[in-house]
Amino acid sequence: MRNSVLKFTLLSVLLISVTAVFAKRLPEGHHHGHHVGHKGKHVKMPKFNRDSLLAEDKINESTNNKVGGVRFAQKFYVEFNTENSGEITYNADGSAFWQLGLKSDSAFSINLQFSKFHLLQGDTVYIYNPDKSKIVGPLTEANNLKSGTLPTVPIFGDSIIVELRQSPDTSSLRSVEIGEINHDYRGLRGLPSLIGSTTDSCSYHATCFDVTDKVEKGVCVLIIDGSVLCTGTLVNNTAQDGTPYVLTAAHCLDGYSETPAEVATSIVAFFNYEAPNCVSSIRGSIEQTIGGSTLKAFASDVDLALVELSSTPPVDYRPYYAGWNLSASLTPPFYGIHHPYGTVKRVAVEEHSISAASYGSPFLSNSHWRVPSWEVGTTDKGSSGSGLFDSTGKLVGALSGGSSYCYSPYNDYYYRLNKAWAYYSDSTKQLKVWLDPTASGVTELNGFNPYGNDTALRYSNIAKTETPIEAYLETPNSGLLAGQNSLNATDYAEKYALNENAYLYGIFIVPPIANAANSDVISIRVYAGDSVPDEAYLLADTVIDIKPLQWSSSNGFYSYSKGILAGNDNYIRFGSPIAVGKNFMIAYDVPYTNLPIDSFSVFTAPARTSGELASVVVKVGGSWISMYDFAGVRTSLWIDPVIQYDSTAIATDTSLVDRDRKTIVFPNPADDVLRVMTRYDMSGECKLTLYDIYGRIIKQKTGKVLYYTIDMPVADVPVGSYFLRVEYDGKSESHKIIINR
């Protein structure tokens, strides 16, 4: 086995940023907001007229012309920093802790724009809602951008807390200041929403089209300036060096009080926001984001905008950089891949020819491709900036606007790449200098995967032809097939058998039910092996909090209802990849105390016939058995690992998991002190690190091995569940700890 048990969390975000999706020109006044100068530890945003904003939105979105964006948030301009707001505590060693609470009544979500963000090594920033069901962070010096700013992803609810833990380092200047607070008044995801009029009957999910399967991985939804939505596409260049250029529309960045270059720094790109496995009822994952970008080219009269993201999408995002075609003679069919109204990724198909056309003021003459009529699907408000692809999957244009909408799929206009290529000689107003840096002169370029043959993939034991179901036991038994039931199953595990060794980067898990009566958590574990989970082969474990947040017009926000995980494609990312070899298992437990009857389960494949895949094992009465022996069903759990094949990814055994030589941690539950009896077969030093369930370090201590015990005081640690990592000479164990008084 791997010699260390890794911790990871659903709630951490690699890079933080805001995304805006649109397909029409921004309405007048979209940039208006309130200036707030309030100080204190807890700051409440002023009230505003939500009905007035909704009325404006309805007028601006009722026209057939789709030039503009989908506004979803009200902006508050602030200057909150450690000097004028919040509460700061200085420690004897020079470190400091700053906390600021922000509230905006009835917000569906809140996102921030840090007007100043520069951390030093050892500094961390967290942003979370009060019940910690959503946490962004830790943000570190790795999140410093060239712009000196940082946009953040939305956090659901109308209250958030910003927390800075400052290291003792005073050798250089750090700077953290919140400049904008954006109140989501329409609802982005998971809560009641007025956004989303585009229905499955007139807009088709991208994951249902095999022909666009590779290309769509580069299409991303954008939050711009914290308040508006648009679409963008990763695009390749002739150097094929993985520079993360994103093509979108100039009008997505125009019309603000800031310059387009300043607006570009606020962009947050969301990748793989799509209905998984072509199941339209499941909301896509929004965990894979990159925040901040630099404007490279902008020409408003062509509608050209090209930005460079602050970092390359990591391998587990499975990115694809679209190729391009500058030909004036194009062969159908054509595909528009986009995010209408900020919904999951869709595809529209034009099966006939398109023609060069003029779109009218303020655009140059003959600068667009006209799509006369979509045979499949349509675009809508929020699709602006999305790409038009030819029959070979190459970009030929990006959406400026048009008059098509649900049930009327006519006349959309995409600005032509061959017009935007070098119409202007100025490098800041053309594509050529950026997308052909080698001066090759080519007019066509294939798409590009920056990770080549080492790319990651989403592996599933559920075929695309199978529609996952919410399954229950048959009578005389009752309850969930993959959750709480009358047979008292406590744990479930899905087995994976790969053809090659692989690294595991994370998992997608899709629950139909996620309810909680308290702040209950679900434990998720990864094991090596091909039989049943064995604690001796534990590779990683974590917990996810299923305490939900819901909203109603009569009660406002309340908990203890349908979980926010339910019906969502949730991504859990590891801190570092895990070598799992060819055979491994992913397991979760289900609690039976202080919960609704149906608390948590995972979608399963429909029952299969004899001889077909049966990959689930169940723990009952302390022993593991097959799902078939348990319930007479051959099925698989909808838990999809993100893997990368690598011959070196071999899970090797280690004496650290020898149960006869284990470290002893007691008492558990603990009150005021944890005692660690070290391993007798080890020597040197032993390092103890206590983590909370979100992976944050609570405290650390180092002691000598072979002392009777190493004591860690925990009287100052709040009651709850924790993990204690015990490290010996680069090897480690992990112990689940309960602190109770």
> For 8-30, what is the mean pLDDT?
31
pLDDT score, position 153: 87
Reported confidence tier of residue 578, pLDDT bands at 50, 70, 90? confident
| pLDDT tens digits, 581-613 | 899 999 999 988 777 778 889 999 999 999 999
* DSSP structure string for 557-608: EE-SSB-TTTTB-EEEEEEEEEEEEEEEEEEEE---SSS-SS-EE--BPPP-
* Residue 454 φ/ψ region, left for φ over 0, alpha for ψ in the -120 to 50 degree band, beta for the rest: alpha
Q: Does the structure show a pLDDT above 60 at 185?
A: yes
DSSP 3-state assignment of 468?
coil
Report the C-alpha gap between 570 and 226 in whole angstroms. Answer: 23
Q: Please report which helix (H) or strand (E) contains residue 150, including its range.
A: strand 150-151
> For 519-545, what is the mean pLDDT?
82
Q: Is pLDDT larger for residue 122 or for residue 34?
A: 122
| pLDDT tens digits, 633-663 | 999 999 999 999 988 777 754 333 343 456 7
> For 441-456, what is the mean pLDDT?
92
pLDDT score, position 22: 25
Contact, 227 vs 30, CB < 8 A? Answer: yes
Structure tokens at 526: 């990864």
Specify the amino acid at residue 100.
L
Reported confidence tier of residue 117, pLDDT bands at 50, 70, 90? very high
Structure tokens at 638: 């909808």
pLDDT score, position 362: 87
> For 360-373, what is the mean pLDDT?
93
| pLDDT tens digits, 686-739 | 899 888 765 678 889 998 887 667 889 998 888 777 888 888 876 777 777 878
pLDDT score, position 736: 74
| pLDDT tens digits, 186-225 | 877 543 444 444 456 677 888 888 878 889 999 999 999 9
Report the C-alpha gap between 281 and 288 in whole angstroms. Answer: 20
Dihedral pair phi/psi, residue 172, rounded to 5° = -145, 175
Q: Does the structure show a pLDDT above 70 at 133?
A: no
For the beta carbon of residue 512, count every other beta carbon within 10 angstroms: 23
Contact, 321 vs 234, CB < 8 A? Answer: yes
pLDDT score, position 648: 76
Q: Is pLDDT larger for residue 337 or for residue 453?
A: 337
> For 24-46, what is the mean pLDDT?
55
pLDDT score, position 12: 34
pLDDT score, position 192: 40
Structure tokens at 40: 């204190």
Q: Closest Cα to residue 614, out of 629, 594, 600?
A: 629
Q: In percent, how much of the chain has pLDDT > 70?
A: 85
pLDDT score, position 552: 44
> For 493-511, what is the mean pLDDT?
94
Q: Does the structure show a pLDDT above 50 at 381?
A: yes
- What residue has token string 């009269």? 301
| pLDDT tens digits, 168-182 | 887 777 899 999 999
Q: Does the structure show a pLDDT above 50 at 21?
A: no
| pLDDT tens digits, 457-495 | 999 999 999 999 999 999 999 999 999 999 999 999 999
Cis peptide before 362 (omega within 30 of 0): yes
Q: Does the structure show a pLDDT above 60 at 4?
A: no
Q: Is pLDDT larger for residue 46 or for residue 190?
A: 46
Report the C-alpha gap between 322 and 313 in whole angstroms. Answer: 14
Report the C-alpha gap between 385 and 407 in whole angstroms. Answer: 22
Low-confidence winner among 1-10, 87-96, 642-651 (lowest mean pLDDT): 1-10
Q: Is pLDDT larger for residue 109 or for residue 219?
A: 219
> For 404-413, what is the mean pLDDT?
87
The whole-chain average pLDDT of the chain stands at 83
| pLDDT tens digits, 507-531 | 999 999 887 665 567 888 999 999 9
Report the C-alpha gap between 51 and 106 in whole angstroms. Answer: 13
Strand 175-184 with 346-350, pairing: unpaired
Structure tokens at 158: 């109308």
Low-confidence winner among 29-33, 89-93, 347-351, 364-368 (lowest mean pLDDT): 29-33
Report the C-alpha gap between 625 and 461 in whole angstroms. Answer: 19
Report the C-alpha gap between 150 and 178 in whole angstroms. Answer: 9
Q: Does the structure show a pLDDT above 80 at 131?
A: no
Q: Is pLDDT larger for residue 274 or for residue 203?
A: 274
Q: In percent, how much of the chain has pLDDT > 90?
A: 48
> For 559-574, what is the mean pLDDT?
68
> For 410-426, what is the mean pLDDT?
96
Q: Closest Cα to residue 520, out of 600, 452, 406, 630?
A: 600
